[in-house]
Structures are given as structure tokens and as C-alpha cells.
Amino acid sequence: MKNISRAWLILLLLFLCRPIFAQWLLPGQADFTKAVTKVFPVRDGISLIQIRTPQQAFNTLVLAGPQGYLLVDHPEPAANPAIQKVLDGLGKRPVKFLLNTHWHYDHIGGNAIYGPDAIIVAHGNVRKRLMTTQTPYWSPSPIGPGPERAWPVITFRDMVSVHFVDEDVEMDHYASGHTDGDSVIYFAHAM
């Protein structure tokens, strides 16, 4: 039990610890030509993909199964070759689900790539933000709206469960988080 708790703490720290200036970077400012990609196995079927550029670190969580993949967040589109290389190494299967933990570009970059074929799930406010122009305090110019294929097709208010690869993946909305659409992801069988 102690090792499982330690593994989840490490996963949480890896997922949340990014350089403090990362939120002020804009799409296209991270240099993925100098990126280093590492894969951290969490448990059978669950891995964390970390892509480090000179500017910041990006994290994507992968739940792998015979029918495909469930991804939690995806950095901007320029990171996709690195993500796809890891996925191909796990087995050439399609991305079936993409869960967005909030609307910022470094979490929804895969939506337009996988959106036509994968089911995008997020809090309802993530969809609202992606459908309209946003003017965050850290951006010198407005962002969005995103292309329709990048909009979440399943949204929720408080929580939703996705049942995939014998796992119950729960998304819980926290009203006073980083954005108004923040969600925490919980893998019920991972403990």
C-alpha cells in the first residue's frame, strides 16, 4: 500500500510540477525540436508521457488497451510526433478517448488532431472556452475560437465516468481551480 501511495504522489508531482513561467508561454513558443521524451510506467496499462522542452515540461497520461488509448491531456499540436511515437511503441492502435483537464492550449493540443476520430470529454466550461474567443491576462492577443473538431463532444457539470479497458475513469470538476473548467482524473482500479 505504501508503494502505491508513493507512486500516486510521484505521478501527481510529475503532472503538476511545471516551471512557474509555463502559463505565460503561448502556442508555438516551446521548441519541440529540442524536446526530450520520457515514459514513466505507472502500472499495467497506465503510463505518463513527459515531454521536456527548454521552455517547459508537458505531460500526457495514457491508458492503453487492446482496442486503443485513452489520453488525459495532450500538449500543443507540435508535440504530437513525440506523443505518437510513444503510442506506436505501445502498439499501433487508435486514440479512442481524449480527456481535457482544462481549456489551456497545453492541455487541448491533441483535440484537433484526434477529435475527428476520438471522443473528447471535458467539463462544460472547457467546451464554452474553446467555442469562443478568450482573452487571458497572460496573452497579448485573443485566443480562439478553436476549430469545431476540437470541441469536447461529451461534457459534464460535476462529474462523469468513462469506462474503458476494465478501468473506471472518473472526472471530477473543482469549481475554484486553475480555470472554471478544471477537472481531476481518478482511476478507480489503479489503487
pLDDT digits (tens, 9 = 90+) for 83-118: 999 999 999 999 999 999 999 988 999 999 999 999
What's this model's pTM, rounded to 2 decimal places?
0.86
**Res. 6 pLDDT band, cuts 50 70 90:** low
* Percentage above 70 pLDDT, the chain: 85
Average pLDDT, the chain: 87
What is the reported pLDDT for 14? Answer: 46
What is the reported pLDDT for 134? Answer: 93
Q: How far is Cα 151 from Cα 62, in angstroms, rounded to an integer?
A: 20
Burial class (CB in 10 A: 0-12, 13-18, 19+), 70: buried
What is the reported pLDDT for 25? Answer: 56
Q: Which of 32-41, 91-100, 115-124, 172-181 has the lowest mean pLDDT?
A: 172-181
> What CATH number should be reported for the domain holding residue 78?
3.60.15.10
- Does the structure show a pLDDT above 70 at 26? no
Burial class (CB in 10 A: 0-12, 13-18, 19+), 99: buried
144 lies in which domain range? Answer: 2-187
Give just the sign of the alpha carbon dihedral 188, 161, 68, 82. negative
How large is the average pLDDT for residues 69-87?
96
Q: In what order do the strands lie in the sheet with 167-173?
A: 159-164, 167-173, 183-187
Cell numbers given for 159 = 462529474
**Cβ atoms within 10 Å of 28's Cβ, excluding its own:** 11
Look up cell 489503487; give the residue: 191
Domain count, the chain: 1
What is the reported pLDDT for 114? Answer: 96
How large is the average pLDDT for residues 65-92?
95
pLDDT digits (tens, 9 = 90+) for 134-144: 998 878 889 89
Q: How far is Cα 170 from Cα 166, in angstroms, rounded to an integer?
A: 13
